[in-house]
A = this chain, B = another copy of it.
């Protein structure tokens, strides 16, 4: 099998792959059968309370896969995460993957699967991309039960004095549904509720999702749910889930969902796929529980964070690694010849043409990401995800450039080969070498800085902004954050993933720009303050030709046309 292969869809490849009963995968990872709660033949939840401690085993090392600034060309970060783990397994290492669960809404739109691609996928991909084990449905239920309870409290006499104009929590659906972005609810008269302006987000944008992914266990989940702010009273005091007294009910709705989901890669490497918060309005990493469970089982855990390193990796370091002891031992930056050329000014339709000049111009994007990761005390490894159109000259240039920058790099041919072939061996060896290098992880900022200072630190240190401009509403919100005692929370930036700046068209490594903070949203259960820059979409829409039009089942009930 080579990378010059007949085109096959990811679904075709997944269907042709040999999938093993999940009990076998569990056994190979040392997970006892009585800790498994099977969901069909190829998926299982792990009851972590039944995992026996392994005497003398140190927690597995964390390898965080991040990327240069993404482009419409697609960089294959999940593919690299899976392929790297398979290659580490090929090298004889005891390794697990930890990935986010995909959102169902975009699947019906036009997005590719979020389960890797080619021969570097997690299986069963159609289940994982559809309902999987129901975690997102449980989160949707918990979120919407909460909102029904909020509006019911207002309807039943409003004992908490909630101001219907200041409810900040929204209902959610795991559907791309533009028509629900802005709605008016509670119409129909006195017996139908209290009218108010509202809107729906997609489930992955729910704070319940962020809380779910940052909680260290069921008790911490309950504690965080209680801390969520749903809105404000008429006299502007925050109203929390604890004030409503329903954190127990929400925890009950999530008690099974919090158990991490075990699946397998095409090469048979065990993978935990669990949780999936948006990478803009939230922190974009799989659950802490999955990462920690994987660390308790395996020696190496390969995981990823959403978008480029300016967003996903920064949040992994400053948010997730503050919730739990999951600081990375190595960071991989996925780069592609195609994406570098786009950052060097080449249009998507011209990417097949060799162009070392554009590569050189675009490398400034990768250079800034490398420098950024070093600010957390870790020197990253560059993984060049090989595409069939890459020329030897371009690949050789990029490896030379990396060497010149003092950063290890390896070409990974893992789309076409997966863990079954040697295409990722060099990357695996490079990452293993990096794990032996000295490092001294540090957060980018101390929590004692004010929220305003934290935003400025990220904008200047990571994005390269020369200044930050806060809008009038954002300034008012900063004052409220101080007054409510939330100034010591970390910041979760919501920014376009395509540029270091807040302007998606400014590729490469823009300088001298001002970052505009439009608004700040306290997420007191997740434990961070979202800083909104530019337009942030929290409820996607469907395209003119939705993917749903191609989908079907075959005569055996199998998925057709999923990707």
- Which A residues have a C-beta under 8 Å from some C-beta of B? 37-41, 45, 49, 104, 108, 127, 130-131, 133-134, 137-138, 140-141, 144-145, 147-149, 151-152, 155-157, 171, 173-188, 192-194, 218, 222, 245-246, 248-249, 251-253, 255-256, 541-542, 544, 546, 548-553, 556-557, 559-562
Contacts and interface: CB of A to CB of B under 8 A. Distances in A.
A555 to B, nearest CB: 8
Given A148-B176, A148-B178, A251-B552, 13 more contacts: A37-B40, A130-B253, A145-B175, A148-B179, A152-B178, A178-B186, A179-B193, A182-B188, A182-B192, A248-B553, A252-B551, A252-B562, A255-B553
A65 to B, nearest CB: 30
Contact of A549 (B144, B218, B246, B255): B246
Given A108-B249, A144-B175, A541-B152, A131 B40 contact: no
Contacts of A182: 186-188, 192
A180 B170 CA distance: 13
Q: Which of the listed residues A38, A187, A248, A548 has the most CB atoms from chain B within 10 Å of its own CB? A: A548
Nearest to A192: B181
B149 A178 contact: no
Given A39-B38, A186-B179, A188-B181, A145 B252 contact: no
The 6 A-B pairs at the shortest CB distance, nearest first, are namely A248-B552, A137-B137, A182-B188, A179-B193, A249-B548, A151-B179
A33 to B, nearest CB: 11
A246 B45 contact: no
Contacts of A40: 37-39, 45, 256
Contacts of A173: 144, 171, 173
A548 B150 CA distance: 12
Contact of A39 (B39, B104, B177, B192): B39
A146 to B, nearest CB: 9
Given A41-B37, A145-B108, A553-B218, A155 B184 contact: no
A177 B252 contact: no
A504 to B, nearest CB: 16
13 contacts: A37-B39, A108-B145, A137-B137, A147-B177, A148-B176, A155-B541, A179-B185, A181-B188, A181-B192, A246-B549, A248-B552, A252-B551, A252-B559
Given A252-B552, A253-B130, A559-B252, A177 B144 contact: yes
Nearest to A222: B553
Given A37-B41, A156-B544, A182-B192, A141 B174 contact: yes
Contacts of A138: 131
Contacts of A155: 178-179, 541
A217 to B, nearest CB: 10
Contact of A134 (B131, B148, B176): B131
B149 A542 contact: yes
Contacts of A556: 49
A290 to B, nearest CB: 17
Contacts of A218: 553, 557
Nearest to A38: B38
A181 B152 CA distance: 13
B548 A149 contact: yes
Nearest to A195: B179
Given A39-B38, A131-B134, A184 B181 contact: no
A58 to B, nearest CB: 27
A145 B174 CA distance: 9
Contacts of A171: 173, 180
A256 to B, nearest CB: 7
A505 B384 CA distance: 74
A542 B249 CA distance: 14
A548 B175 contact: no
A187 B183 contact: yes
A239 B557 CA distance: 27
A177 B151 contact: yes
Contact of A177 (B148, B156, B176): B148
A104 B252 CA distance: 12
A152 B249 contact: no
A141 B131 contact: yes
A246 to B, nearest CB: 5
A354 to B, nearest CB: 38
Contact of A560 (B108, B248, B560): B248
